[in-house]
Amino acid sequence: MHLLASKCNNRRTKFPHIPLLGVALLLLLCLASSTSSCTQQEKISLLKFLDRLSRSSGLTTSWRNETNCYMWEGITCNEDGLLTEISLASMGLEGSISPSLGNLTSLLSLNLSCNSLSGKLPAELLLARRIVVLDVSFNNLDGYLHKLPSIHDQAMQVINISSNLFTGQFPSTRLENMKKLVALNMTNNRFTGKIPSTICVNKPFLMMLDLGFNQFNGSIPVKISNCTALRVLKAGHNKISGTLPDELYSATSLEHLSFPNNRLQGELSPQHIVKLSNLVILDLADNGLRGKIPDSIGQLRRLEELRLEYNNMFGKLPSTLSKCSNLTTIILGSNNFYGQLKHFNFSALSNLKVLDFMSNKFSGTVPESLYFCNNLIALRLFSNNFQGQLSPKIGNLKSLKFLSLSNNSFTNITNALQVLKGLGNLTTLLLGTNFRGEAMPEDETINGF
């Protein structure tokens, strides 16, 4: 938790650019409107919230005076003089969240992220009819959410409860009535049970769903295909099993599909994978997938990241993958891929930065076309069956910082050191278990490292 929470140290809330004249006009409207003075009820609700904080980091000074509470720090009113936003991210707040915030009938956005708030998430906030954005991420909130009652016609569009300590099952009945939901982020908690089957029922606007780093189990619900607008689906680091359902491939708007470190099995369907033509990131690492990488993967022309490491996949690297010219990352380590790579056109992947083939059964020499990938930063060929000498053309990889060639059958260590010493950005070089029976060269050979 504390590792992920450290991200808040560099986190800044981004607002759309508003010209200074617009800011001044909005401020004048808040001051001049006949309704611009906050009501006694609003003031009482805010002060009750303040009273529940054990550490308020200066809010007391701003909030305890007799000024209009619309002028308090973190409080925003709209042009009609209504309290619509509370933004107190990264304020060092400690204590619990008061249910009194649910009494703010005009509140549209509440951001309490990146603090040290604890205790329960008040039901009044999740039940509010008008709140559109709720962000309490990166706190220490806990408890169950599934016991909350359900109401109809909620306005909620964005819910971010990530990086807390919530437990139990997520309330599926509540999801049914969030018909306007656009983004739901519940990553890095302790949710259990199956992914709610209702998660995509009546969700025509849902674009982002992040369930990662929890304890979800069971299979991927087939109704996921109902999320026709879904662009990001992340559920890594859970206990999800079964196969990728055929219905999943009907979510053709998907750009980011990520299920690493689960218990998935089965194969990548050649006829279905092509339906996800908008995919930019495909991450199915650390599962139990088997079978080959289908030739049809070459039709995913927008693909930038392909991660299939730590599975049981096999076969040759499909030559069609070189048609995915936007690829920056290919990680296939710890599988059973085999064959020579001389027929694969790496030169078509000019954007490639990371290539990891460790612990497979690739053989032959390192293909010459690989040396045209001038943007490569990391290359790992550890523990394969590569052989022969390194080509002087490896010197073209001027951006290379990490190179691992260990546990292969490379020869001529003198040549290898001579051609590698020209890589000025190289910081890590692993050559162990190669050059069997050869003697180390004289010192002047490695001058330049």
Query: What is the pLDDT, as a whole number, of residue 209?
Result: 97
Q: Mean pLDDT over residues 216-236, rounded?
A: 95
pLDDT bucket at 332, cuts 50 / 70 / 90: very high
Query: At residue 431, does pLDDT exceed 50?
Result: yes
Whole-prediction pTM: 0.90
Average pLDDT estimate for 38-58: 90
Phi then psi for 222, rounded to 5 degrees? -70, -25
Gyration radius (Cα) of the chain, Å: 27
Segment 390-417 shows an average pLDDT of 96
pLDDT at 396 over 90: yes
pLDDT at residue 445 greater than cutoff 70: no
213: left (phi > 0), else alpha (psi -120 to 50), else beta? left
Class of residue 109 by CB neighbours under 10 A (exposed 0-12, middle 13-18, buried 19+): middle
Burial zone of 266 (CB within 10 Å; 0-12 exposed, 13-18 middle, 19+ buried): middle
Half-sphere exposure for 347 (CA within 13 Å, toward CB): 11
The model's pLDDT over 109-146, given as tens digits with 9 standing for 90+, comes to 999 999 999 999 998 888 888 899 999 999 999 999 86
Domains of the chain, with CATH numbers?
1-9+37-144 (3.80.10.10), 265-449 (3.80.10.10)
For 186-267, where are the E strands, in sequence order? 190-194, 208-210, 215-218, 232-234, 239-242, 256-258, 263-264
Residue 10 pLDDT: 53
pLDDT at 21: 40
Q: Put residue 158 in one of left, alpha, beta given phi > 0 → left and psi -120 to 50 → alpha.
A: beta
* 317/315 Cα distance (integer angstroms): 7
